[in-house]
Structure 1
């Protein structure tokens, strides 16, 4: 059964309006969301994704709806893992908390545009060369192995080549100017450090897509479902960032759960490739019916089960630990000294904040 064209068009229009409205709200009132506000927005976006799956069930069929739910859960869990790096980026560039919403929102939109291009290219390649599933499958298993091998190691953010290049060619001010990315300083048009932060978020998420896009193509070959699952996974990620904060540290088994999911999808892709029995050097060949195909309902059950087990096990493991309320606040005046961050700058800022806190306690 084909997806109705009107359903696809309506979905794209609706998602575009929603993203633009979200961006307008952030631009109009930059602030740090409260726990209540962040909770309501996350609940809204999760409910919207669940409702969209039900609409797919009503207007298409159960297979497409199940593929969407499986893809959305996979992308959402991988996006939660990405929040660890987002926290590091914000601290690395010393972005004031009340301006982090806009940076996250614009970075997510950049990531959506780049992922859309990536998805279209992937769909074309898969349509013409089914054997690429061998490559995707091996890559996902290798990624799963690395997640297990490096589990427990301290994560650090390392600027990619694109960001390093932008630093050298863009005239950047010494100070943050609120959430603005372009200002006039001493009669000269210049970029603010916020442009580097936004580019860092967008390009870093694109790097993460190298894992997530092949994973979701292992669950569905429908580009529309792949794209909408990515959109719904990224929408609300900004509010989730503020909601979870330090609680991310309690999800100690999340990377292990993701490794199991990626390895499972990798095996599924390889089985599908063997079942199709198409290789570029072997000519046209008949599918091998004796090789089983993993049904999508089983994939959804395994993904959901692994996420539940990983989350519950993590919370039980860390139930005696106190989670911090979120990434440390950075005073705007402190951030002005070294806007583009750096290990030395971050250490100096933290030491300064600690000294001020000690002085306050001594006076009291």
Structure 2
């Protein structure tokens, strides 16, 4: 395991945090000042921007501190980016079941991810401090990730219902709410009462889901490095690009049939790496290669299956024998 010495100086910490707030202000105050439905083209452009910024920062670390730290950041970023994709599955379910209009989804994700930045920062520093004082926790984290990966594989086809969870049931009992939307507002007034709109309820679910996923993703990156600056920056870059990635992939999530299999493989691998940290020593380059291979294989297999899956008729029945030039005959 790497030393707990951090490469981040106060100037670098301050500069990075200022950069994050500047980008968020630019995003909300300029590009999304008015609510609108995020198009596929816009989501693709923003995704390219965030990935490019992440790789540029990676190049800076590589140049300034060497290939070791550069490889650690790149590996950590890939882990966080891949595991954050699992959030998208849940976000799709949340917005669908809560019937959140597409025009307001960006606003919910923006404030949800903004709070996630603060929560993750607290969890990262707490995790680093705990590992520094209690080395044996590394084995606990490793076992936890292995069990989580196995659970994800077993429940890969399990339907998510976050709107029926204990958090939403409790919130509906405690917080006065209304089933009616009030534009992009989280709070509205009806008959003189201040009530939470479905947007606020969706925001609470988004924040809760991110906290749950952080319990997996943050320990996972500790298998690569315990440098707080690398852990924090790789996490934040992955989270900042999550909104655009959601709008880019939300309509095609059903095509990635084997993605959760790949994610479970990543969790099991990094969990085993943590559990065997005092026995087996893998370089960041090997870890990066294994993770990229597992994820790449699951994505390619998913796309191959989606391409070979026969088209479906409106009633949901596959009709591979129906000619493409004419509609399939309706069943009586």
Residue 309 of structure 1 deviates from its aligned partner by: 1.4
Question: Please, which of 12, 16, 29 is the counterpart of residue 34 of structure 2?
Answer: 29
- Secondary structure of 1:183's match? strand
Which residue is 1:299 aligned to?
Answer: 287
| Pairing 1:242–2:230 present | no
Report the CA distance between 1:132 and its aligned residue. 0.3
Match for residue 168 of structure 1?
173
1:4 and 1:60 in contact (8 A); partners too: no
1:107–1:198 Cα contact (<8 Å) kept: yes
RMSD across aligned positions (CA) = 1.9
CA–CA distance in structure 1, aligned partners of residues 281 and 106 of structure 2:
43
Query: Per the alignment, do residues 198 and 26 of structure 1 end up closer, same or farther by CA in structure 2, a change over 3 Å counting?
Result: farther
Measured after TM superposition, the shift of residue 25 of structure 1 is 4.0
Q: Which residue in the other structure is 2:98 paired with?
A: 93
Superposed displacement of residue 293, structure 1: 1.2
Aligned in 2, Cα 1:323/1:160: closer, same or farther, shift over 3 Å? Answer: farther
Equivalence map 1:1-364=2 (5 Å): 2-25=7-30, 28-272=33-277, 275=278, 291-321=279-309
Change (3 A) 1:174 1:154: closer
Deviation at 1:102, TM superposition (A): 0.4
SS of 1:318 mapped into structure 2? helix
> Secondary structure, in 3 states, of the residue corresponding to 1:28?
coil
Distance (whole Å) between structure 2 residues aligned to residue 26 and residue 139 of structure 1: 40
1:15 deviation in Å? 1.1
| Paired residues, number | 307
Between the aligned partners of 1:143 and 1:158, the Cα distance in structure 2 is 22
Counterpart-to-counterpart distance in 2, 1:256 and 1:246:
20
**CA displacement, residues 217-270 of structure 1 (integer Å, 9 cap, x when unaligned):** 111101121111111111121122121123111111111111111111111111
* Per-residue deviation, residues 108-144 of structure 1 (Å, max 9, x unmatched): 1122211111111111101101110110111111111
Offset of residue 27 of structure 1: 5.5
Other structure's SS at 2:280 match = coil
Structure 2: gaps (5+ residues):
313-332
CA–CA separation in structure 2 for the residues paired with 1:124 and 1:165: 33
- Post-superposition shift, 1:162? 3.4
Alpha-carbon displacement from aligned partner over 1:303-343 (angstroms, at most 9, x marks no partner): 1121111111111111134899xxxxxxxxxxxxxxxxxxx
Q: TM-score, normalised by structure 1?
A: 0.80
Q: How far, CA to CA, are the matches of 2:32 and 2:199 in structure 1?
A: 14
Distance 1:152 1:304 in 2: 23
Structure 1 runs (4+) deviating above 6 angstroms are none
Contact 2:162/2:205 (CA < 8 Å) preserved in 1? no
Give the superposition deviation at 1:185: 2.8
Which stretch of the first structure deviates more once superposed, 79-88 or 13-22? Answer: 13-22
Residue 155 of structure 1 aligns to a residue whose secondary structure is: coil
Q: 1:292 and 1:305 mapped to 2: Cα distance? A: 20
- What CA distance in whole angstroms lies between the structure 2 residues aligned with 1:154 and 1:38? 26
1:173 deviates by 2.8
With over 3 angstroms needed to count, the CA separation of the structure-2 counterparts of 1:189 and 1:151, relative to structure 1, is closer
Aligned to 1:332: none
TM-score by length of 2: 0.87
Distance 1:323 1:42 in 2: 30
Partner of 1:359: none
**Most deviating of 93-102 and 160-169:** 160-169
Alignment gaps of 5+ in structure 1 = 276-290, 325-364
